[in-house]
């Protein structure tokens, strides 16, 4: 069953439309960070969904606006740069 929203990749019955963009293995295989775009209102408003999963704990899922996602991206780049300098 395909969704009426062309970019949505969900194929079973769903209330959140989602396109999976990245799934990155992190922390030496102990975690996965996923990035998707999602919409809960028929595609009129599209947000970014960040999922962090680790073994033995429930995943943490945060839905943020595109502007907030850019802020998170900048914060990650800044942190990575500082970590590289201190490592
Ligand atoms: Zn859908």
Within-domain flag for 7: no
Within-domain flag for 45: yes
Q: Using pLDDT thresholds of 50, 70 and 90, give the confidence band for residue 48.
A: very high
The answer on pLDDT for 29 being more than 80 is yes
Tell me the CA–centroid distance for residue 61 and ligand 1, in Å: 18
Tell me the CA–centroid distance for residue 18 and ligand 1, in Å: 6
Domain that holds residue 29: 17-86
Tell me the CA–centroid distance for residue 19 and ligand 1, in Å: 9
- pTM listed for this prediction: 0.87
Within-domain flag for 10: no
What value does the mean pLDDT of the chain take?
A: 94
Number of domains in the chain: 1
> What per-residue confidence (pLDDT) applies to 25?
97
Contact 72, 80 (CB under 8 A): no
Tell me the CA–centroid distance for residue 3 and ligand 1, in Å: 5
DSSP string of the chain? ---SSTT----SS-SSEEEEEEEEEEGGGTEEEEEEEEESSTTSS-EEEEEEEETTEEEEEEEE-HHHHHHHHHHHHHHHHHHHHH-
Within-domain flag for 2: no
Within-domain flag for 31: yes
């Amino acid at each position: 069953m395909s969704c009426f929203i062309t970019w949505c990749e969900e194929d079973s019955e769903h209330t959140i439309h989602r396109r999976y963009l990245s799934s990155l293995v992190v922390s030496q295989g102990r975690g996965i960070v996923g990035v998707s775009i999602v919409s809960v209102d028929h595609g009129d408003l599209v947000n970014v969904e960040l999922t962090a999963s680790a073994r033995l704990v429930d995943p943490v899922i945060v839905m943020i606006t595109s502007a907030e996602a850019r802020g998170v991206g900048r914060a990650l780049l800044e942190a990575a740069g500082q970590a590289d300098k201190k490592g």
